[in-house]
Structure 1
Amino acid sequence: NQWPFTFDVQASQKPTVVKTVSLGARPTAVKTTVSERYATRAWVATQDGTLHIYSLNGFAPGDGYNMTANPPASNIAEVGTVTGIGRNPTSLATSKGEPTNTSLDAGSQQVIVASRGDNKINWVRFASNGNSGSIVRTIQHSEMKDLIAVEDSDNFSNENYVLSALDYTGKAVRNYRYGQVTFADGGLCPWPTGCAINAINGAAAEYGGAMALPGKPFQMNSSNVP
């Protein structure tokens, strides 16, 4: 009688395993696309620095588009890989405002990878069919002692493009601004150019500082409404 309850309390909510796959290296992080409206994919990162891309046709109802009743397990299939994402990738984050191609949601076009083994953050952008991708941005910061997780900021009327990263042994949350700030009401940073990043020596991002923590963080959420 203690929360969190097991599925025995509400057996109808227990997930059903429809397929199991074997990988050549240990899986260390997973993420899926947000909605079914566009090409739905699951991304599985493995310890050797490979991102495996799986189709999820019919298994991600999302906002109600293209829903399929009882889709076959064969719809879950590996359709591509991206190599070189960094050793021991421990976190995959949804890209919340980039790219700005409005024909697809940002969360289906790009994923952000935290490589703990290389202490490096990589942005992986996918092809239009979602079956391949490439690294388009990398951050490696000398003050980051032990990168373990990343989370992108929300981008709605005001755009800011700030990534938060957890430093496990460094006991801190570190922020990096990787794109322009744009205020919906104009102000000091009007659309479309906004206020560019103040990067040093052509760096891919501007360091926004850190918040010290009493313990070693390993997971976070920076959504407006988690």
Structure 2
Amino acid sequence: MLIINMEGMIAGALIGGIYFMLSLVFPGMEYPVKYSSVAALFLIIGTVADTLGYQPRIYYAKFKLVGIVLTILGVFMFLGVAGFILAFIVSAICLTLWNRNRENKAFLHAQSSFEKYLANQEQDPHARKRLLLEALFQNVWLQKKPEFFLHNDKVLNALISDVGITRNEDELHYLHFVRDTLQEQQVQTKRTWKLKNIEKVKFALTQSLDNQGIGRFRPAA
């Protein structure tokens, strides 16, 4: 993997440009202010990019995460242990709220795609299959909600049983495996978990559509 992806290069150039402008407007900035400015720019630009569906990264770390880490380290350096603990708690709360909001939006999007499929708004077999792929929901915040299972179970059953959708034997076997895995996972007693194999089956079936020259499915941000 590249040290920084293309989106990261663009976001990094934007951060560098804004920081340069700040240096011109406020030439007397001292070290704590300069450090705080860089951390805030990473956090703000990274959050805006994620909201718009982009993922600027340094290795596997999103710019937003880099901003959070820089902010926490900065608070620790300038305010001591008490400030570090406070910054960590505030960051954890903000990250929790952001991820819950992201998950709720993704689930609404998945439900909307399945409703379009049920309403037969798409007659083309490839378009119907794409709607079902888009309707598969992958949780991001490890919440255990029965409605997640029920929704994905209905979507997987449609992918398996819809006679208007082309599936080869390997796809059918994998769809059955994913559905069985989710049903087993549903009865587990763990309070937190991540839905298994949903992103994998999305990717696998999307590749199948791509190989047929069909447009690639893009999951919701």
Question: What interval of TM-score do these two structures reach, taking the shorter chain for normalisation?
Answer: under 0.3
Task: Name the structure where helix makes up a greater proportion of residues.
Answer: 2
Question: Higher relative contact order by CA 8 Å / sep ≥ 6: 1 or 2?
Answer: 2
TM-score (norm 2): 0.25
TM-score (norm 1): 0.25
Task: Name the structure where strand makes up a greater proportion of residues.
Answer: 1
Q: Which has the larger radius of gyration?
A: 2
